[in-house]
Structure 1
Amino acid sequence: MSKAAPPTKWRTSASVILVSRDAANSEDYQVLMLKRSDATAMVVNQTVFPGGLLDTEADESVAWLQYLEEFGVPKEALRRLVLTRDDRPAILAPQGTGCYDRFFERSRIWAREITLRLTAVRECFEEVGLLLCRSRSQLNFGAVTCAQDVLDLETWQRRVHNKPTEFLTLCREQKVVPDLWALHEWSAWASPGFMRKGHETVFFMAFVDKQPKLLEEPSEVKETLWLSPFELLRLGNLGNVWFMPPQVYELSRLMGIKEYQRLLEFAIKRSGLGTTMYLPVGYNCQGSMVFVLPGDDFYVPEPHLVHEIISFPGSEDEFRARSKHLHRYTYGPAIRSLELNISPPNGHLSPLKIHPERQKL
């Protein structure tokens, strides 16, 4: 009798899909991605959106609530960040004694929609020296974010990188607050359950009118890329960069909107519709690894309880033939195909169909 696989331990994280107007054509846009340093990459040239792990001491500190109140941020402005829906994934649900109850003082709301935005902004500063924030004169909570210049940037970046709680100190000294309101909820992904140390990540989308100056943190970032989704996917197909499935999926659905203003309007509207956690469930189809996502006929009711790859007694084509509703991708060592023949949840964009990895887009 085989021993049961131990449960996956998902580490909570947040990422920013940062969108800027294209310098050559202001109607188009580019997104920021980072090549991980050789010391932190899973594979050579692994490329990701800025982001990282939730730090409970830094990001869930009640001192943030006190600072936001002192700064003049209205309570209602924080409440607007919190979606009161019954279908929230666990990563964005009320956190009980871990987050909600402990900081629900004087009717102030402290929720994962807030703390994960703090994580995303802090990590963006740690990785590329980009401080997305607002001064008191900018407290109009607009949809496009501001990038604050920081004196002695390298020193501050090092301080926050080494001690995340210093991010609050930085904001106090700069007399700014993190721009939580310009981060629009976009999607959520979790690592497959057979990975012993996985991540669950909320992706936010933020917009800037022009590309800000960046400072790469050398221990984490090898190179920064400002490119269109098309160009990034093409580099992936050519083998110049390597993406995990969430990055391929998100870039692929960005292909459906090519104009900056249209994407901004869509992201604002869609962010109020909630998020479905995409936790892939793997099937071994005679050597082909197929991962199914929510809405697929082979998706399971409790994907977080699946800690092994499921064996399917047939080929990938037979697996497809037994399914009417498809939401899946084939993987190894990158996404080779992506199929979706249903409406994506939460009013979202459908990804562009992915062709074999060596075929140019």
Structure 2
Amino acid sequence: MSQAATPPKWRTSASVILVSRDLGKSEDYQLLMLKRSDATAAMVNQTVFPGGLLDSEADENVAWLQYFEEFGVPQEALRRLVLIRDDRPAILAPQGTGCYDRFFKRSRIWAREITLRLTAVRECFEEVGVLLCRNRNQLDFGAVTCVQDVPDLEAWQRRVHNKPSEFLTLCRELKVVPDLWALHEWSAWASPGFMRKGHETVFFMAFADKHPKLLEEPSEVKETLWLTPEELLRLADLGEVWFLPPQVYELLRLMGIKDYKSLLDFAIKRSGLGTTMFLPVAYDCKGSMIYVLPGDDFYVPEPHLVDEIISFPGSEDEFRARSKCLHRYAYGPSIRNLEMNIPPPNGHLRPLKFHLERQKL
């Protein structure tokens, strides 16, 4: 293992796991995922949750805080979004100095719980035309998100897509504020350090009472899907969609809760327990690539400094035999053999077993 002189640069992003009641069965739920366009996909049929990169000019602009104040959002409502814990991962740590009582005295928003929620809401609108916002009559900051109709949706989507800072203009025009309070902190993932262009992403979960109307942004989105976790995993098994490990992992743990209300209750309670960054560390076990996650015996204290695949002098079975605590998966063209025999961090769901061996590119 070599250590980089400076940590590799991950591009910061945010995604929304949008949950809606199943149209046919009100107690069940479906998830919104999208197939990336051929021009933006890492692989054919790459399928992801809506989301994208943080745009500093658009999402960290203190004009948002001024707008919230003008709109009548109490400062205390914004402070409730900020989770003060000693174990926050870097992506959710305060950016800069100061105290939480100085929200409105800066040139940029520095609370990542606010800026990344703005990123997630903006990207959801850019990619699929869903505006998760509240009007003045909806300022009860409820746990289920509000979706707003947008006149001239296609024109506004194009305008925000071309210039992300126009999202604030859109909100002013419609007299709404992004529904940050209905985005429940869910998880955080980073690309392995050996990747040249990596991302670090916070996943938020939002709940809608019904499927919102969608408008796919043609340069980024090829197709949208409303399906259950099992249905999405089955499509992956058949090779009709392709997931990176974070999407597979999240779908596997969502299999543990089958109904909408139970998942909503769980997401609300769990969001206050914090988040552990899942930054996989890769081991080459005689040709088998094994990725370990926090809590595994082979996880390293400073994973962000690992910029190469670590060579293990033995087979995958030997690697496993030398471990007591397991939190890992094998990865080739797809994720397989996901193992976890330790309690999930942050009071989270344990990923369940699902037949993934036949998943093809």
> What are the within-5 Å matches in structure 2 for residues 337-348 of structure 1?
337-348=337-348
Q: Deviations over 1:136-195 (max 9, x none)?
A: 000000000011000000000000000000000000000000000000000000000000
Pair 1:38 & 2:42 matched: no
1:263 is aligned with what amino acid? L
Give how far 1:355 is off. 3.3
Deviations 1:289-335 (A, max 9, x none): 00000000000000000000000001001100000000000000110
Secondary structure of 2:273 counterpart: coil
CA 169–256 in structure 1, closer or farther in 2 if over 3 Å, else same: same
- 1:60 maps to which residue? 60
Q: Deviations over 1:54-78 (max 9, x none)?
A: 0000000010000000000001100
CA–CA distance in structure 1, aligned partners of residues 99 and 212 of structure 2 = 33
Q: Secondary structure at the residue paired with 1:272?
A: helix
**What corresponds to 1:328 in structure 2?**
328
Cα separation, partners in 2 of 1:64 and 1:249, compared to 1, 3 Å? same
Counterpart residue identity of residue 68, structure 1: F
The residue type paired with residue 274 of structure 2 is: G
- Name the residue aligned to 1:197: 197
Give the paired residue count.
358
**Alignment correspondent of 1:181:** 181
Counterpart of 2:120?
120
Distance 1:100 1:30, change over 3 A: same
What TM-score do you get using the length of structure 2 for normalisation? Answer: 0.96
Q: Secondary structure at the match of 2:247?
A: helix
The percentage of counterpart residues that share the same residue type is 85
8 Å Cα contact 1:36/1:47 also seen in 2: yes
For the residue of structure 2 that corresponds to 1:258, the secondary structure is coil
**CA drift at 1:103:** 4.9
Q: Which residue of 1 aligns with 2:84?
A: 84
Unpaired segments ≥5 residues, structure 1: none
Matched, 1:233 2:233: yes
Quote the Cα distance in structure 2 between the aligned partners of 1:286 and 1:101: 54
Q: Is the 8 A contact 1:99 1:112 kept in 2?
A: no
Residue 99 of structure 1: CA displacement?
Answer: 11
Distance 1:359 1:132 in 2: 34
Q: Which residue of 2 aligns with 1:22?
A: 22
Question: For 1:55 and 1:216, how far apart are their aligned partners in 2?
Answer: 21
Cα shift at 1:196: 1.3
Task: Please state whether the residue corresponding to 1:24 is helix, strand or coil.
Answer: coil
Q: Does structure 1 conserve the Cα–Cα contact (< 8 Å) formed by 2:94 and 2:110?
A: no
Deviation at 1:80, TM superposition (A): 0.3
Q: CA deviation at 1:9?
A: 1.5
Residue aligning to 2:49: 49
Gaps of 5+ in 2: none
What one-letter code is carried by the residue in structure 2 that aligns with 1:125?
F
Instruction: Look up the match of 1:158.
Output: 158
Deviation for aligned residue 1:354? 4.0
- How far 1:98 moved relative to its partner? 11
Change (3 A) 1:217 1:100: farther
Q: Which moved more, 1:109-118 or 1:218-227?
A: 109-118
